[in-house]
Chain A
Amino acid sequence: DTGVSQDPRHKITKRGQNVTFRCDPISEHNRLYWYRQTLGQGPEFLTYFQNEAQLEKSRLLSDRFSAERPKGSFSTLEIQRTEQGDSAMYLCASSLTNSEAFFGQGTRLTVV
């Protein structure tokens, strides 16, 4: 599968623990996006990278959330001191400039 890859697919963690998710975009896609999707809702934008630069962050992205794309290829999303409200599907997408966004299959996070 040469599409957007996310790891892990599922993560169960205890409240207060830190978690990190990885996204590998489609090769040569310069744009990378993170979205969050809770039950019964559409995806909500979290943040966006153009190459290695993080160009936009949603107000949904609290201080406990941090995202990086160090070499303009893969990206990581870290959540510190997880809360039950962080339980959601975290989606990554990538695209070329002004082109269709391709989505990964997501990482489902459950905070217990």
Chain B
Amino acid sequence: AQRVTQPEKLLSVFKGAPVELKCNYSYSGSPELFWYVQYSRQRLQLLLRHISRESIKGFTADLNKGETSFHLKKPFAQEEDSAMYYCALSIQGAQKLVFGQGTRLTINP
């Protein structure tokens, strides 16, 4: 079965420090990986997807098929990055997203 694991429920870092939110997945085929973000009182929105290989709001994520990971990174955290972050997997040919449990990121001033 497909599964997404985010080992940290809570992550707290200081402003200006590097951030890494971990995501591991289990799927034997070729997955498509996403990071979604939910800011306070806002709807869930797409942050980035691995196929686009973009940097959004300073965040990047690299798909590592050997380690089945898709960690989200930012070199210098900002206070506005405080939010709930969800890693998600989509199976090729399927339409649903499988989400991890989420990591609440808090950036301290």
Contact = CB atoms under 8 A, between A and B. Distances in A.
B91 to A, nearest CB: 11
The interface size bin for chain A is 20 to 34
B95 A43 contact: no
Contact of B101 (A42, A91, A105, A106): A42
Interface stretch (B39-47, B56-64, B66-74): B39-47
Nearest to A58: B96
Nearest to B102: A42
The interface size bin for chain B is 10 to 19
Contacts of B46: 100-101
B98 interface: yes
Nearest to B6: A42
Nearest to B36: A103
Contacts of A33: 95-97
Contact of B99 (A44, A48, A58, A102): A44
Given A48-B95, A56-B95, A40 B44 contact: no
Contacts of B101: 40-42
Contacts of A105: 42-43
